[in-house]
A = this chain, B = another copy of it.
């Protein structure tokens, strides 16, 4: 049976939910306060889960220090203290909802973590709102 190792990191970012193909009125109706033109922000808590078989010599599925470094270099350096709409390529044309941010992070990390390991991402936008990708 496989074991899952999980590492929690965080980053802070600003964002705005706005669909450029819609009227201002429709944006306001659908996104409410999240549509504020001057942005708002969050402390994002990110949990990355990696599943596989522990190495008999180390007892590790994946060294969590290495996992932490992979997340820092590929996710935190890219998004921490950034405006997701203005400062990143990923959300130039993609709505920076928690759902989409989680998918983007999963796609970034999938390239950096051994294909023999399964990958899952949990992203807390607030303590009461969070998403998981992929769904169980």
A19 touches B58 (CB 8 A): yes
A109 within 8 A of B: no
Tell me whether A129 and B81 are in contact in the complex, defined as CB-CB below 8 angstroms, given that A41-B15, A95-B59 are known contacts: no
B38 touches A41 (CB 8 A): no
A38 touches B99 (CB 8 A): no
> Complex: how many Å from CA A94 to CA B58?
9
B39 touches A39 (CB 8 A): yes
A129 touches B6 (CB 8 A): yes
> Complex: how many Å from CA A5 to CA B132?
7
> Complex: how many Å from CA A87 to CA B100?
27
List the interface of chain A (C-beta within 8 A of B): 1-10, 12-15, 17, 19, 21-22, 30-34, 36, 38-43, 49, 51-52, 54, 57-61, 63-65, 80-83, 86-87, 94-100, 102-103, 118, 126-136
